Amino acid sequence: MSTVTKPLGSRGSMARPQLAKNRSGRIGANDKTSYTSTIILLLGALYCLLPLAWVLMASTKSGGDLFTSNTFVPSRHLFDNIVELTQYRGGLYWRWMLNTALYAGVGAFLSAAVSAFAGFALAKYSFKGKQATFMVLLAGVLVPGVILAIPQYFLLAQVGLTNTYWAVLLPQIISPYGIYLARIYAGASVPNEIIEAGRTDGASDLRIFLRLAVPMMAPGLVTVFLFQFVGIWNNFMLPYIMLGDDRLYPITVGLNGLLNQGSTVPALYSLVITGALLSIIPLVVLFLVLQRFWKVDLGAGAVKS
């Protein structure tokens, strides 16, 4: 480990300033293309694309051709499959998509809001029970969702909320991980001087939080939002247990149902595959548009507290 500090001590950048470029700068003498590393990375990309390419090809095939034609040769039935999927039980698929967007969108927004409040309080205030609260909240990260889902069902059944949108929405607002990240972001991006200045001007703490802190934390909160969005989008167990009515299903549970129809009904593979493809698209778009917010520095959370 001693090597860590060595370059720090012997920095030679001053000697050759013309080469000490900004990271985003032009290619220097040392920066000639490395084919090995480029190829390794592209192989990684290929590995990640392969199943997606497969689902794209498979979704262009009709039910009858799906298994009997060459896998990576596309056919022309994509549109037919989308039409068939749309017709399935009166457009149920699109309702699943909307449900998923609702669960993930609203749930992630509320989660980011709750996390922002909690993270800001934990980062910027000193109060009794702070450390204990943080530890307890964080311990929630360790509890498997599968384990929580069953007792959560019993609790919601007590107030008659099972088999409703609330059953899927409410339990997913609390995100220990989101609070953990929000605390990091609040600690790192909101300077104490700003809070002080706000207080001197006589602003209330809530106003300081909403007007000053939230805009500064915004990029981080977008990350929390994305995190929870993907988390809810991917969650299978909770809606699977909570919901009985297939009109309330999110996409994961819906597609799973299409696949496991019981022995007396054929599995609707071409619908499932087309549905899987279409369900990935919104998330891919979301990723591409918001990719600059995917900066998750877990290490920064390991700050002294």
Partner 1 sequence: MRRTIRAAVGAGVLAAALVMTGCSSSGSSNSNDGSLGTADKPVKLTFWGWAPNMDKVVDTWNSTHKNIQVTYVKTDAGDPAVTKLLTAIKAGSGAPDLMQAEYQKIPTLVSADAIIDIKKDVSAETTSKFSDGVLSSVTLGSDALYGIPQDSGPMMFYYRADVFKKLGLSVPTTWAEYADVAKKVHEADPKNYLGTFSSADAGEFAGLTQQAGASWWGSDGDSWSVDIDSASTKKVASFWGGLVEDGVIDNQPQYTPEWNKGLAAGTQVGWVSAVWAPGVLAGNAPKTAGKWKMAPLPQWTAGEQATGNWGGSAVAVTSQSKNVKAAVQFNTWLNTSKTAVSQMVTDGGLYPADTVDSKAALATGNGFFKNQPDFYTQAAKIAETVKPFTYGPNVNVAYSAFNDQFGKAAQAKSQQAFLDAAAQMQKITVADLKNSGFTVK
Partner 2 sequence: MTTTVDVDQTAPGRDPAAKPSAPAPRAARRHRLNFTPYAMLAPATILFLIFMAAPIVYTLILSLQKTEVQGLGLGSGARKTVFAGFSNYAAAFSDSDFLASAGRVGLYGLILVPAMLVLALVFALLLDSKRTRLAGFSRVVIFLPYAVPAVISSLLWGFLYLPSVSPFVDLTTALNLPSPDVLSQGSVIFAIANIALWGGVGFNMVVMYTALKAIPTDLYEAARLDGASEIRVALAIKIPIILPSLIMTAIFSLIATLQVFAEPTTLKPLTNSISSTYTPLMKVYRDAFIRNDVNSASATSIIIAVTIFALSFAFLRVVQRRAFQEENS
Residues 91-110 within binding reach of partner 2 (CB under 8 A): none
Q: Is 68 one of the binding residues for partner 1 (CB under 8 A)?
A: yes
> At its nearest, how many Å lie between partner 2 and the CB of residue 207?
11
> At its nearest, how many Å lie between partner 2 and the CB of residue 29?
9
Residue 91 interaction partner, one of partner 2, partner 1, none, beta carbon < 5-8 Å per kind: none
| Separation of alpha carbons 16 and 25, rounded Å | 16
> At its nearest, how many Å lie between partner 1 and the CB of residue 111?
25
Angle, helix 251-259 to helix 214-234, in steps of 10 degrees: 10
> At its nearest, how many Å lie between partner 2 and the CB of residue 125?
4
Per the structure block, which two tokens stand in for 196? Answer: 């002080």
Window 161 to 180, contacts with partner 1 (CB under 8 A):
162-163
**Of 7, 160, 202, 299, which one interacts with partner 1 (CB under 8 A)?**
160
**Of 16, 132, 160, 266, which one interacts with partner 2 (CB under 8 A)?**
16
Per the structure block, which two tokens stand in for 162? Answer: 């099972």
Q: Is 88 one of the binding residues for partner 1 (CB under 8 A)?
A: no
Piece of 11-19, 126-134, 170-178, 261-269 that binds partner 1 (CB under 8 A): 261-269
* Count of C-beta atoms within a 10 Å radius of residue 30: 6
**Of 40, 53, 136, 155, which one interacts with partner 1 (CB under 8 A)?**
155
Let me know if 62 is exposed, middle or buried by CB neighbors in 10 A (0-12, 13-18, 19+): middle
Window 94 to 133, contacts with partner 1 (CB under 8 A):
none
Angle, CA 220 vertex, CA 218 and CA 226 arms, to 5°: 105
Per the structure block, which two tokens stand in for 229? Answer: 């969005």
Q: Is 93 one of the binding residues for partner 1 (CB under 8 A)?
A: no
Q: Is 158 one of the binding residues for partner 1 (CB under 8 A)?
A: yes
Contacts of residue 275, Cβ cutoff 8 Å, sequence gap at least 6? 85, 93, 251, 254, 255, 258
- The residue (of 92 and 254) whose beta carbon lies closer to partner 2 is 254
Window 175 to 194, contacts with partner 2 (CB under 8 A):
176, 179-180, 184-185, 187-189, 191-192
Window 207 to 236, contacts with partner 2 (CB under 8 A):
209, 216-217, 219-220, 223, 230, 233-234, 236
SS3 at position 243: coil
**Of 157, 281, 284, 300, which one interacts with partner 1 (CB under 8 A)?**
157
Using only the alpha carbons of the chain, give its radius of gyration: 25
Which contacts qualify for 15-20: CB closer than 8 Å, 24 or more apart?
Answer: none
Distance of CA 83 to the CA centre of its chain: 29
Per the structure block, which two tokens stand in for 209? Answer: 């939080």
